[in-house]
């Protein structure tokens, strides 16, 4: 019948979520599974709990495409705060040092645009990258630091939105494997004042953006029919 819901085991497709703060990527997936009766669901690239924006949710057989989405270029809207270093490189971390920001507008621009192109980046200790089967952040929380090999990444484009010291807001288009908190730390090092990532929003992943996405809050009141209709089938 036309009004019947599809079987939860036959939902194969993609839906884009505009993740809100304080939701982990796993929280979103678990909610969708439980609330809409979806048996199999995953995502195409995690977001930190304090980050917002595009989370690509893969349903059914679409979960096999996870690696494809991980390889996509990503676009982010970032806010970097100068004058502090934090152990995690982002707003969740403990403050390690505080400095006066004496850099000029021109020096700030120079430090940012030096990052454009192919650069080597060392994965932060507070990251989901694995070492001998363990996530680096699991080791970091135990006070363990290990030597990490740098990875080659490509910062394809940076667009400055606003500079009001101590905050810098910009968009960045980058390759897979880029740690935005790592870019923030690099900017602070170049300016000799320290910096951390104070806000992050993912805008795009490959050809997917936020134009047809739903927040977790919207999902809570969404009927199953509407959810299933919103899935892009594969």
Residue 1 is predicted with a pLDDT of 41
Residue 143 is predicted with a pLDDT of 82
Residue 148 is predicted with a pLDDT of 85
Q: Tell me how many domains the chain contains.
A: 2
pTM here? 0.91
pLDDT digits (tens, 9 = 90+) for 22-39: 999 999 999 999 999 999
Q: Which of 18, 48, 67, 73 is catalytic?
A: 48
pLDDT digits (tens, 9 = 90+) for 68-106: 998 999 999 999 999 999 999 999 999 999 999 999 999
The average pLDDT across 12-31 equals 96
Question: How far is residue 205's CA from residue 16's CA, in Å, rounded to a whole number?
Answer: 10
Q: Is residue 6 part of a domain?
A: no
Q: Which helix (H) or strand (E) covers residue 70, if one does?
A: helix 66-70
Residue 7 is predicted with a pLDDT of 57
Give me the domain span that covers residue 135. 74-204
Residue 124 is predicted with a pLDDT of 83
Question: How far is residue 116's CA from residue 100's CA, in Å, rounded to a whole number?
Answer: 26
Annotated active-site residue 48? The verdict is yes
Residue 69 class from Cβ within 10 Å (0-12 exposed, 13-18 middle, 19+ buried)? buried
- Same domain? 97 vs 163: yes
pLDDT category of residue 116 using cuts at 50, 70 and 90: very high
- Same domain? 42 vs 128: no
What CATH number did the domain enclosing 60 receive? 3.30.2350.10
């Amino acid at each position: 019948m036309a009004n019947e819901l599809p079987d939860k085991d036959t939902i194969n497709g993609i839906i884009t979520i505009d993740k809100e703060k304080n939701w982990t990527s796993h929280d979103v997936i678990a909610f969708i599974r439980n609330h809409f009766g979806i048996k199999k669901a995953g995502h195409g690239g995690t977001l930190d709990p304090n980050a917002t924006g595009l989370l690509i949710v893969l349903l059914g057989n679409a979960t096999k495409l996870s690696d494809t989405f991980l390889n996509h270029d990503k676009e982010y809207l970032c806010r970097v705060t100068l004058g502090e270093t934090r152990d995690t490189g982002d707003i969740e971390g403990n403050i390690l040092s505080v400095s006066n920001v004496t850099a000029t507008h021109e020096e700030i621009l120079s430090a940012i645009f030096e990052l454009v192109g192919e650069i080597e980046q060392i994965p932060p200790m507070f990251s989901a990258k694995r070492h001998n089967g363990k996530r680096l952040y699991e080791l970091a929380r135990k006070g363990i630091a290990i030597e990490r090999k740098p990875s080659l990444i490509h910062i394809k484009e940076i667009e400055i939105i606003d500079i009001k010291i101590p905050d810098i807001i910009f968009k960045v288009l980058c390759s897979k494997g880029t740690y935005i908190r790592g870019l923030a730390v690099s900017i602070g090092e170049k300016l000799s004042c320290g910096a951390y990532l104070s806000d992050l929003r993912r805008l795009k992943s490959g050809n997917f953006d936020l134009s047809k996405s739903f927040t977790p809050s919207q999902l809570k009141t969404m009927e199953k029919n509407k959810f299933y209709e919103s899935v892009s089938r594969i």
